[in-house]
Amino acid sequence: MLIAWVQRARPASGPAGKLTLPRYPGTESAPCQTSPNLGMEKYWFTLNEDYPSKSVYYWYKNELEPRGYVLVTQREPDWVRRGSGDKSYDLFQATWLEPGRLFQIDLQMVSTVTRASEGEGVVVEQREPGIKVYVTRQRVMHPELMFGEEREKRPPRSEIELR
């Protein structure tokens, strides 16, 4: 029932049925996946910069926050190592909520690392060139994000009295 309400609450697209995901400069022809019925738009590209670049994050931060978008986390996100064994990757994730709190923009950046042993206890890491970037605009995935601000304004509930 909540999902139906969210889907009716606002259209998934901007004027004339066009989705409204801002594109990082130079990525206008990057592959794109859309689903207007689900309110989802996603595109991806390889950033030709070295790890641990945050240039895409700062571009989106400067583009979105003046428009009223809010970063979900309290502090600035950072790169985190995931995986183990021969292959692992460094992951950067950030999520902004649109002013109406019905949509979110997710940024994921991935830099892949291959590990190899070189003798006794010496491990060498080789990083793949570039950073894979995935940007998605979709309906808010967690109701707490959608109603979080409204819940903060409500007075706390008193204990339930049973008679």
pLDDT in tens, 69-80: 999 999 999 999
Mean pLDDT (the chain, rounded)? 81
Q: In the structure, what pLDDT confidence band is assigned to residue 130 with cuts at 50, 70 and 90?
A: very high
Residue 144 has a pLDDT of 60
Looking at the chain, the whole-number percentage of residues with pLDDT higher than 70 is 75
Instruction: Identify each DSSP E strand in the chain by its residue range.
Output: 32-35, 40-47, 70-71, 80-84, 87-97, 103-117, 123-127, 131-139
Neighbours of 90 (CB within 10 A): 19
The confidence score (pLDDT) of residue 38 equals: 81
Q: What's the confidence (pLDDT) of residue 148?
A: 53
Flag whether pLDDT at 126 surpasses 60: yes
**Which of 25-34, 119-128, 142-151 shows the lowest mean pLDDT across its residues?**
142-151
3-state secondary structure of 97: strand
Whether the Cβ atoms of residue 130 and residue 47 lie closer than 8 Å to each other: yes
Q: pLDDT > 90: what percent of the chain?
A: 56
pTM: 0.75
The pLDDT-based confidence of 162 (bands split at 50, 70, 90) is low
Q: What are the beta bridge partners of residue 83?
A: 88
